[in-house]
Amino acid sequence: MTLEITPSRLDSLFRPRSVALVGAADKSVFSQLAYRNLDDFGFADRTYLVNRRGAVTHGRSTVTSCGQIGDPVDVAFMMVPQAATLDALSDAAAAGIRNAVILSSGYGETGEDGRAAEIELVAHARSLDMLLLGPNHLGFANFTTRTPVTSIPGLPSEAGPVALLSQSGGSSSAMLDFASVAGVGLSLMVTLGNEAMITAAHVLDYVVDDPNTRAVAMFLESVREPDVFRQAARRALAAGKAVVALKAGSSALSARTAAAHTGALVGNDRVIDAVFRDLGVIRVDSIEDMLLTAGAAAYLGRLARPGVGVVSISGGACDILADRAQDFGMSLPELAPETTRALTEIMPAYGTVQNPLDVTGSAINNPSMFTGAITAMSADPSVGVVAVVNSLPWESDGRPYATQAFVDAIGDGVATARGPVVHVNQVQQPITKYTRQVMDAGRVPYVLPGLRQAVTALSNVAWWSGLTGDRAPDAVGPVVTVAAERRRGAWTEIEARALLADASIPMVPGHLATSEDDAAKLAAEFGGPVALKIVSKNILHKSDIGGVRLGVVGEQAARQAYADVAASALKVPGAIVDGVLVTPMRSGGVELLVGVVQDPQWGPMLAVAVGGIFVEVLGDSVLAPLPVSTARAAEMLRGMRASALLDGVRGGRPADVDEVASVITRIGDLAVALGGELESLEVNPLWVNGGMIEALDAVVTWSPK
């Protein structure tokens, strides 16, 4: 019997018709909080309390087993001790309950015994065809259906478009608090706990199909099912639902901390960056940015253009915004002549028509300047969203709100604008009931709090909006097959060269010499200086034993070099030597490193770097999961800090970046085609001189069987 965790199957968990609170007890804080939530949300009449002794609990009668409930129940919310959970699962299953939310701790997070108990728990649930959420978490709440199956206090009372998924139970309460403070409405909140069966990736997959969810905020300490996550993230991107992730573990210390409290493996952070970028997952670095970006994406949707038009009454705010826009890569386009014309009509003579626009103090006497400025900005051909900077109140001072006229004028702008408009609060402030009244009166639907946070959210949404998915992820170029018996160990350079050549990757010319005469003849043929390298599958570090000679000029020198290099093999007793590879030396241009390694979680990862001293001194490399399109490969090249080298420095010729990108793509495609047994494939250097591109050396190794 297979238990599939599909969106449709999860629907009965996250939209239950009724819930059994198993282990309900007056003296349990968790039980109290869970029941209070169900009651507060009007779900008490669809809640059944199961108490071992049948005692009156939370003021209600109880049953001693699920079987006694009689009515159909979708979810058992279990808060029984760990030791009693297996029996409780059996009892629930016998009553036809197919989903369990296991609050109890004492599983994988506690050590060896706990891990064994968790494995047993999952096996038992599978045998009962039951889905498990948790254990060791705080449940979930569906705000759309008003079903709180959670012991988190202080749930927001209103629903909204953002699904919140958290691997941290302890932080989820703070996340809910901030969602309330910032006015970010939630559709669903799920705490994941140990993810014994249902992972964050499964829930992400579920909410892609949830009509009430328009964006997803995720707090992650690790990604436990990379393939499910990948597929769900791709579906979300296609569905136009932004996925915003706060992924812990960017520091070594955090990796230690996360390991300490969840036992999860925190992956290499640069790989996570590259994978998220590839999947269109927006990565943020605070709880606040996670919820604000998700809220903005849900409210604004995909922007037609990345440009932000800014309207403000504070010159200081314009300055700060412009600075942060530059920091975070938010586009503040110059205005088109027709926009400038329209704004000039509105603005006083001493004002400056530009983006960001300071409407000046004139707006105090004439608030409708806001409306006019928003309308004009929104019509600009480079503007995808208008951000209006203003301040909203959070506490009433007992008098009518002094600048309600500004809010009204901005609301008029929202109504008449040609594109989306967002109100930005100049500083972080809560959206209180009073704030909401002021907003509603002015018909201002959404607010981003604080200039830096607003710039972060808008640049995130703009980046996500521009993702085109320029290449189908499974489209792979050349199909090169390698017989199974050859997929082992480290290949010689001769073998690696042949493989790359088969895959249409340009190689520097080279031939195997097996005598001094051969070497002399090849040196003469190639003309300029040559390199000689020992070729033996037993010799991995050729240079270390003197198996490499570079810059050898002339036939006589070639003979001597051959003799020296061949002799070096004697230092590796028993080495089988194929001969000596002779290649012409290349000079000038730029040397790149193009390497592929297998990430244990995410599969083949491509690294591109400027070779030589730059990668040594600066660690200047760019990562991407494979395959990569040529457009992406070109972006990687441009993403290197030393990318100006490609433009040609000190009289060098500018590199043909498109052609280099195309070669990189082919190297990546080759690695993908070779499959998971490939351990590494590295071209170092890939020599680039204008339009001349050649792999000067290549390494291929295979994973131990």
State which of positions 400-419 bind a copy of itself (CB under 8 A): 402
Rounded CA-CA distance 557/516 in Å is 10
- Residue 563 has, within 13 A of its CA and on its CB side, a CA count of 8
Closest approach of a copy of itself to the CB of residue 113, in Å: 11
Amino acid, res. 573: P
Amino acid, res. 171: S
State which of positions 58-97 bind a copy of itself (CB under 8 A): none
Nearest Cα neighbor of 591 from 499, 504, 694 is 694
Near a copy of itself by CB under 8 A: residue from 119, 415, 427, 570: 427
Q: How many residues bind a copy of itself (CB under 8 A)?
A: 86
- Interface with a copy of itself includes 246 (CB under 8 A)? yes
* Complex with a copy of itself: residue 407 or 645, whichever CB lies closer: 645
Going by DSSP bridges, is the β-strand pair 47-50/19-22 parallel, antiparallel, or unpaired? parallel
Terminal Cα distance for the chain, rounded: 31
Closest approach of a copy of itself to the CB of residue 104, in Å: 12
Near a copy of itself by CB under 8 A: residue from 650, 651, 704, 705: 650
State which of positions 336-375 bind a copy of itself (CB under 8 A): 350, 352, 354, 356, 358, 360-361, 364
- Interface with a copy of itself includes 262 (CB under 8 A)? yes
Tell me: cis bond preceding 627? Omega within 30 of 0 counts: yes
* Complex with a copy of itself: residue 397 or 474, whichever CB lies closer: 397
520's CB contacts (< 8 A; 6+ apart) are 555, 556, 558, 559, 562
Rounded CA-CA distance 472/368 in Å is 48
* Complex with a copy of itself: residue 362 or 514, whichever CB lies closer: 362
* Complex with a copy of itself: residue 353 or 580, whichever CB lies closer: 353
86 with 118: CB under 8 angstroms? no
State which of positions 432-471 bind a copy of itself (CB under 8 A): 450-452
Closest approach of a copy of itself to the CB of residue 124, in Å: 23
- Interface with a copy of itself includes 221 (CB under 8 A)? yes
Closest approach of a copy of itself to the CB of residue 705, in Å: 37
Near a copy of itself by CB under 8 A: residue from 228, 265, 322, 692: 322
Closest approach of a copy of itself to the CB of residue 247, in Å: 9
- Interface with a copy of itself includes 641 (CB under 8 A)? yes
Closest approach of a copy of itself to the CB of residue 251, in Å: 4
3-state SS class at 101: strand
Closest approach of a copy of itself to the CB of residue 592, in Å: 14
**Angle at which helices 404-416 and 433-442 cross, to 10°:** 50
3-state SS class at 492: coil
461's CB contacts (< 8 A; 6+ apart) are 242, 293, 296, 297, 300, 303, 385
Near a copy of itself by CB under 8 A: residue from 206, 219, 229, 464: 219
Amino acid, res. 489: G
State which of positions 509-568 bind a copy of itself (CB under 8 A): none
Q: How far from 401 is each of 332, 367, 405, 424, 445, CA to CA, in Å?
A: 32, 14, 9, 18, 18
Near a copy of itself by CB under 8 A: residue from 570, 618, 654, 703: 618
- Interface with a copy of itself includes 613 (CB under 8 A)? yes
- Interface with a copy of itself includes 258 (CB under 8 A)? yes
Closest approach of a copy of itself to the CB of residue 449, in Å: 8
- Interface with a copy of itself includes 616 (CB under 8 A)? yes
Going by DSSP bridges, is the β-strand pair 147-150/139-142 parallel, antiparallel, or unpaired? antiparallel
147-157 exposure pattern, b = at least 16 Cβ within 10 A, e = fewer: bbbbbbeebbe
* Complex with a copy of itself: residue 95 or 458, whichever CB lies closer: 458
Which part of the chain contacts a copy of itself (CB under 8 A), choosing from 235-243, 310-318, 492-500, 529-537? 310-318
75 with 49: CB under 8 angstroms? no
- Interface with a copy of itself includes 168 (CB under 8 A)? yes
Near a copy of itself by CB under 8 A: residue from 314, 375, 459, 492: 314
* Complex with a copy of itself: residue 256 or 341, whichever CB lies closer: 256
* Complex with a copy of itself: residue 261 or 571, whichever CB lies closer: 261
Nearest Cα neighbor of 151 from 136, 161, 163, 140 is 140
427 with 391: CB under 8 angstroms? yes
89 with 128: CB under 8 angstroms? yes
* Complex with a copy of itself: residue 216 or 596, whichever CB lies closer: 216
Beta bridge partners of 283: 245
Nearest Cα neighbor of 58 from 37, 20, 31, 97 is 31
- Apex CA 592: angle with CA 591 and CA 596, to 5°? 150
Which part of the chain contacts a copy of itself (CB under 8 A), choosing from 41-49, 236-244, 390-398, 678-686? 390-398
- Interface with a copy of itself includes 317 (CB under 8 A)? yes
Near a copy of itself by CB under 8 A: residue from 147, 150, 166, 378: 166
State which of positions 91-110 bind a copy of itself (CB under 8 A): 105, 109-110
CB atoms within 10 A of CB 313: 25
- Interface with a copy of itself includes 591 (CB under 8 A)? no
Near a copy of itself by CB under 8 A: residue from 130, 496, 580, 645: 645
- Interface with a copy of itself includes 332 (CB under 8 A)? yes
Closest approach of a copy of itself to the CB of residue 158, in Å: 14
